[in-house]
Structure 1
């Protein structure tokens, strides 16, 4: 998937490369992102980039080609056609880069990969992300109470998903 390129008028999403890892690690460790995303090592990111079942993607401003975030997507080879948006972190917030990147990912997952379901988990207190996912058509499927340990306490996470039939219905409107 090294040649993967998704884009619209404001954003370009492409396969990450090893030279992007420093930016990616800086973005995930930024205080505006770190409460919501897991922190990986350099080697973990590199291994994900080499895994054929994972899309490790860089988000760029289409006009400037500057990085604005990244996404990690798992399960692209799943026989169940259930793809997980494992992580999205954006360094330039409130400019539509995250929203448009997810829209591009959904189109790719459903229209190209033939996914039946795209799902994610989101921390219970990440209200802005939950709002965005609902706007994009994701539905809450359940709450995993105190499922992850972060900063000395357990956080609960919601599972959210969008099904192909819901995506297609939304796409028509």
Structure 2
């Protein structure tokens, strides 16, 4: 069975990116994928600093790398901070990129994000795609930019906007098509 790991680059209460993560969880499950939903809050890592290596690499980095390696699909919902990636995602990628074997070379990656603006984290997603590609990750073509968030989700958390719904369906098709688990 194909497996997926989903996470959000926002750990705050009420995060819209967590809402997108959960919408992707539901859609992947409906497609027959076994989904593991995680919070980066459960993987504490100090700000990346090479001086901490090799003796003080956080145990959480190894645990998270193992999760990436053990899943066929990884979906990352990222917010956008000042036109770029949030520090949580940057730090997570920095620590994971030091793990051997690379946790980025097994799974196929999907990226998305929610913002209050019209561009739906497109700059952050572009940066994330570039970073992941440079470290060997295969990222599916569809970018799941959701904005403005005020009209994208219904009060119950479900996807309200048909365009967003269609993008989620397209990404699920790409993720399951390109994954090693293959449905």
Q: So what's the TM-score if we normalise by structure 1?
A: 0.38
| TM-score, normalised via structure 2 length | 0.37
Judging by fraction of residues, say which structure has more helix: 2
Larger RCO, structures 1/2 (Cα 8 Å, 6+ apart): 2
